[in-house]
Each structure stands twice: as structure tokens, then as C-alpha cells.
Amino acid sequence: MDLPLAHAEFAPSTTVYLNTATCGILPQSAVAAVRELAEAAGAGTAAGFGDFDRVARVRESYARLVGVGPDRVSIGSTVATHVGLIAAALPAGSEVLFAEGDFASVINPFVVRGDLKPRFVPLEALAEAVREDTALVAVSAVQSADGRVADLAAIRAATAGYGIPMLVDATQAAGSVPFDAAPYEYTVTAGYKWLLGSRGASYLTVSEAAQDTLVPLHAGWVAASSPWDATYGPMPELAPDARRFDESPAFLAYYAAEPSLALLERVGIAAVHAHNLGLAARYRAGLAELGLAPVPGDSPIVSVPGLAERQPELARAGVLTAGRAGALRASFHLYNTEADVDRLLNALAP
């Protein structure tokens, strides 16, 4: 599927939307799927109950996007809930290594326990900061605040030397940049950003070896080996794979996710990545001509320190960006064009 056809999947708008790192835009096919379920629920028909087969297809589609089998994928509603399972599994006194300024959902479930030892280092120093007594390294593949990309290969090499597990948050990567979840014990991804879904869908991958390290603390009947035989009383048997960590699905979000993930698969992440990086490079070149210096990086997220106060002014001009950590953050995705980049640059020009 070529990019012009992909652009046609999105409703026309007079607004320039450059804020996918906050929330993605739903394709029209996803809007239609949500409407279908909502209308069926409003009519009181059986179709309004929600379809678990659709959820299974979403699990399989996400698994293909990140290079693992569906048996390694658990579905849920928020990244913080997934991370909480991992945080709960660590023994008291365990050291967890983080990048300074990483996203709160990666950090807080560990910190609020109060009996772990969080250690923070600059993102670029994470690999060399791994030591023998580190229990876990938790890091975002792409930093939310400014788009910096973690050197996951170097961090994985450092942790492997000590047999230390890794947790990678792929929320700002999956759907936009090639991401392989296979090398890591745990990965988490929110579904409402680059995956073009809505809030209420999120994904946890757990390696086969690591599945016995977590306790499915919020296990309901959907986590059973045979869910329809586990609706009453104690669960006879947990699912034998990562499905044991499932939450009961928020069907509206997963109805949106199915066509959105299918669109990304049709276009191909390599093509999406090349498109997004091309727009980011055009923006970086334009910023240089304006005498502005963004945070160095090679991702579709571009942040310019000191310009966060321009965000409301840009919004009034119909260009939607974000202010994060004092910087103006623009993020480029499938539905954006070179004209969008130029409109942002023109709005920033003195």
C-alpha cells in the first residue's frame, strides 16, 4: 500500500496535526468499527457485547509488528498496569536502573513500592551503568520528551553479561520505527499513539522464560486456560502463555485497534519509518535555517528547547504540537506531509 492511499484513510482537516507522540489520529476504518460496536450496544443487540475473536486478531497483528509470537503478547488497558506486574515481582531491596527523565509510567510503579532501589543515570550512560547487583533495567526505546533513541543493543549486551532482565517501553517506537521485542524479557506499548488506536488498548510482551517470573495479580476469567469454564469460582487453570496476564478487554479500544494495526501492516513499518524520518529531517533543516537548535536525534519526534511557550500560539494558528519539559515537541507520522512541516516552519518564522 503506498502512502497516498494511506493518507486517504484519514479524514481531511484544516488543522495540521503534529502531535502523535501525545495521541495518534484514528483512521476512518477504526472510527467506523467503534461506531459499529457503540451502535450495537446502544440498540441492545448481541453484537454490542463485543467480540473476543477481534481481540485475538489484534493480539496476532501486534505480535507480527514487533516480531514475536502471539503467545508472548498480553493485552490490557494501560502501560502502568503492565509495569506494575513487573514491579510487584521484584524482591525488596532490588536495584532498578532507569534513564533520567524517562516517562513516568515506566518509573512510578517501581518507586511507589518504597522498598526498591531506583537509580537514575543519563540515557547515553545507561549501558555502562549496568552492574552486577542491578536487578532490572527499565527504559523507553524512544524518549517521550525529546525523541532521543536508546542504544538498546548496547544496553542488552551489558545486561546479558550479568543475566539481568530488561523492560523496554516501546510506546514511542512501535508503529513508527522498526522495533523487535524478541530480545527482551518484557516490553510494554500504549496503543493510542503511533499504533493509531485509542486509549484503553495496551500491550505487554513477556519472553517464554520470564512468564514464570510474574504473578497475574489482576487475573480474571479471561486469564484462564479455558475462559468460559472459569467464569465462576476459583480459576481451574491459568492460560499457559502470556494471556494469563490479560485484562478484560476494553472492546471499543480493541475494535479501533484492529483496522489501525492492519493499516500499519499493509503500509509496512519500514515505509512508515522512512516517511516519518524524512519529514523530521525536513523540519530539522528548516529549524537550522531559522537559527533554532533541536535536541539531536534520529526519530520522528523533534523537540526544540525553550520554545514550549509557542505551543498555544501555534494551536491558535491551527498547528497542533506539544510543550514538554520546556521544549516545543513536534512528531510526524503516516498522515503528515511536507506541507505540514512547512506550515509549522512558517508559523515559527519571525
Give the CATH number, domain containing residue 254.
3.40.640.10
How far is it, in rounded angstroms, from Cα 80 to Cα 89?
Answer: 14
Given 237, 266, 295, which residue is the final one in a domain?
266
The answer to whether residues 224 and 236 touch, using CB atoms and an 8 Å cutoff, is yes
Q: What is the pLDDT of residue 129?
A: 98
Per residue in 244-273, pLDDT (tens digit) is 999 999 999 999 999 999 999 999 999 999
Same domain, 274 and 241: no
Together in a domain, 17 and 56: no
Which of 245, 266, 287 represents a domain boundary (last residue)?
A: 266
Backbone angles phi, psi at 28, to 5 degrees: -60, -30
Pair 195, 98 in one domain: yes
| Residues spanned by the domain of 271 | 3-27+267-348
Under the banding of pLDDT at 50, 70 and 90, the label for residue 7 is confident
**Residues 71 and 198 grouped into a single domain:** yes
Check which CATH number belongs to the domain holding 299 and give it.
3.90.1150.10
User: Which residue type occupies 200?
Assistant: G
Is the residue at 33 inside a domain?
no
Report the DSSP pairing between strands 301-305 and 202-206. unpaired
Identify the pLDDT of residue 56. Answer: 98
What pLDDT digit, counting tens, does each position of 286-345 carry? 999 999 999 999 999 999 999 999 999 999 999 999 999 999 999 999 999 999 999 999
Question: What contacts 202, CB < 8 A, 6 or more positions away?
Answer: 75, 76, 77, 78, 79, 81, 82, 188, 189, 190, 191
Residue 3 reports pLDDT greater than 80: no
Look at residue 312 in the predicted model and tell me its pLDDT. Answer: 96
Helix (H) or strand (E) holding 129: helix 126-129
Whole-angstrom Cα distance, residue 319 to residue 14?
9
323 domain residue, yes or no: yes
Say if residue 126 is in the same domain as residue 272: no
Task: Flag whether the pTM goes above 0.85.
Answer: yes
- Do 130 and 178 share a structural domain? yes
| Cβ neighbours of residue 38 closer than 8 Å, sequence gap 6 or more | 252
Specify if 32 maps to a domain: no
Same domain, 308 and 261: no
What pLDDT does residue 6 have?
A: 81
Q: Which phi and psi angles does 319 have, rounded to 5°?
A: -120, 110
Contact 284, 106 (CB under 8 A): no
Q: DSSP labels for 173-195?
A: TTTTS----TTSSEEEEESSSTT
Q: How confident is the model at residue 137 (pLDDT cuts 50, 70, 90)?
A: very high
Return the exposure string of 295-311: e unless at least 16 CB atoms fall within 10 Å of the residue's CB, then b.
bebebbbbbbeebbebb
| Average pLDDT along the chain | 96
80, containing H or E segment: helix 79-88
Q: At what angle do helices 79-88 and 104-111 cross, to 10 degrees?
A: 30
Q: Are residues 200 and 281 in the same domain?
A: no
| Domain-embedded: residue 183 | yes
Task: Please say whether the beta carbons of 83 and 107 come within 8 A.
Answer: no
Look at residue 75 and tell me if it is in a domain.
yes
Rounded CA gap, 326 and 305, in Å? 6
Of the residues 208, 236, 266, which one is the last residue of a structural domain? 266
Q: Does residue 48 sit in the same domain as residue 197? A: yes
Per-residue model confidence (pLDDT) at position 303: 98
Quote the number of domains for the chain.
Answer: 2
Asked if residue 234 belongs to a domain, the reply is yes
Q: Which of 206, 209, 208, 174 is nearest to 191 (CA)?
A: 174
Cell 524520518 -> residue: 277
Q: Are residues 271 and 191 in the same domain?
A: no
| Per-residue b or e along 178-187, where b marks 16 or more CB atoms closer than 10 Å to that residue's CB | ebebebbbbb
Considering the domain boundaries, does residue 37 fall inside one?
no
Other beta carbons within 10 angstroms of residue 267's beta carbon come to: 18
Q: Are residues 215 and 204 in the same domain?
A: yes
Residues 193 and 276 in one domain: no
Q: What number is the average pLDDT over the span 32-50?
A: 96
